[in-house]
Amino acid sequence: MKNSKKHTQKIRKQIIGLISGTSSDGIDAALVDIEAQGHERKVDLKAFETYAYPKKIRSKILELAHAEKIILDELCSFQIILGDLFGDAALAIAKKAKVPLSQIDLIGSHGQTIRHLPPTASFNRGMSFQIAEAAMIVCKTKVTTVSDFRVNDMAWGGHGAPLTPYLHYYLFHQVGYGVAIQNIGGMSNVTVIPSNASLKDVVAFDTGPGNALIDAMVSHATRGKKQFDADGAMAAKGKVQTLFLNKLLKHPFFFKKPPKSTGREEFGVVFAKHILSLAKGMSMEDLIATVTALTAHSISENYFRFVFPKTKIREIILGGGGAKNKTLVHFLKRCMPMISHKRFEDYGYNSSAIEAMAFALLAFETSQGTCANLPEVTGAQREVVLGKVTPGANFRSICLK
């Protein structure tokens, strides 16, 4: 009887989620109210903000992420610097929401990815390395912080990615029909939720590049004056070079069966330079249009190969920065005209806040000892509790109940 009562009692916590994505634009901070009862979760966003990195900080992050060799002293110092900035973001979002830190139960920090190395055929243990020292966040906020979410899944043979499908499920599993959630950040990933699905029915994987290659082309074309193609305006002025696009679409990642994940290592600076070397003589407008089409076509080809043959989908719900790129969305609709395309905002959610909300929810599950990886998604051998806990002043009341 006691266990049954514990299983059905309602738990409510206020949690801050923090993440800086592949594009490394800044720190996304979301303060959410999480209500849990049994197997159900309600995640209510109270406040969200993106705190942009200073230009020198962003440049250093990209330098570290793309470096073949890293000076250890620089990496160690930057781990502390970013931890300090993440702590500032937590303080700022709590202040924006007018919630005293004493009322924040947990912080879930994804940090900033520097390397993501999925398992390979020759080595079945991958590694994902994020920086932004959690102890610095705790030092600033005094709030118990969960970080380093990916590595336990990877220790059990998983990709440690994607992890946001756990939140996607709770936001959309009750819509009554099959949906696909397409996040287009620096990289793109899809979450497929069949009609009447359980967590074990969720399918999710990275589809390839999102904004990263587009951003690289824009930065090259403008000599660093612009970092992204606002509204897809530059791509709209160009013409997609079909033969060149088809050549790029032969990349082996697009044919690889899930589970699969990717990052800058595969679709970052090296691949961007490869594209530029092949595109000599092409106008920059045409190149940006073609690379934008690459993102759209690589997404759609993954759907036709790995989603549509297995699951009936009525809607694609777009999120991430790419959902604001009108040209990219136009290309996606042309690639898959038979499917309704919507955005998180059509369901009352802030698409920019979703990833930060996800790591707030994952931190909650860590505090409850709940396994929150999805082995069917990541390829891990088993379900595991995610994250590492850095105790704050409230540790005993939060994690030792």
* CATH (domain of 261): 3.30.420.40
When pLDDT is cut at 50, 70 and 90, the band that residue 1 belongs to is very low
Give the pLDDT score at 154: 96
pLDDT tens-place string over residues 181-203: 999 999 999 999 999 999 999 99
Vertex 90: Cα angle to 85 and 93 (nearest 5): 120
Would you say residue 5 has pLDDT above 50?
no
Same domain, 195 and 326: yes
What average pLDDT score do residues 332-349 get? 97
pLDDT tens-place string over residues 62-80: 889 888 788 889 999 999 9
When pLDDT is cut at 50, 70 and 90, the band that residue 48 belongs to is very high
Give the pLDDT score at 28: 97
Give the pLDDT score at 265: 87
Q: Which strands make up the sheet holding 203-209, listed edge to edge?
A: 203-209, 187-193, 179-184, 315-319, 340-343
What average pLDDT score do residues 230-240 get? 97
Same domain, 244 and 261: yes
How far is 196 from 318, CA to CA, in rounded Å?
A: 21
Same domain, 14 and 108: yes
Same domain, 146 and 159: yes
How far is 97 from 31, CA to CA, in rounded Å?
A: 8
What average pLDDT score do residues 376-382 get? 96
Same domain, 57 and 40: yes
pLDDT tens-place string over residues 78-101: 999 999 999 999 999 999 999 999
Same domain, 137 and 220: no
How far is 105 from 169, CA to CA, in rounded Å?
A: 23
Domains identified in the chain, total number: 2
pLDDT tens-place string over residues 221-232: 999 899 899 999
Same domain, 193 and 327: yes
When pLDDT is cut at 50, 70 and 90, the band that residue 401 belongs to is low
Closest to 399 (Cα-Cα) out of 29, 212, 387: 387
Would you say residue 398 has pLDDT above 80?
no
Same domain, 139 and 12: yes
> 299 near 335, Cβ under 8 Å?
yes
Give the pLDDT score at 21: 86
Same domain, 121 and 189: no
pTM above 0.85, yes or no: yes
385: which strand partners? none
Q: Which domain holds residue 229?
A: 165-351
Closest to 364 (Cα-Cα) out of 26, 44, 59, 21: 44
> 253 near 262, Cβ under 8 Å?
yes
> 178 near 195, Cβ under 8 Å?
yes
Same domain, 192 and 131: no
Same domain, 113 and 212: no
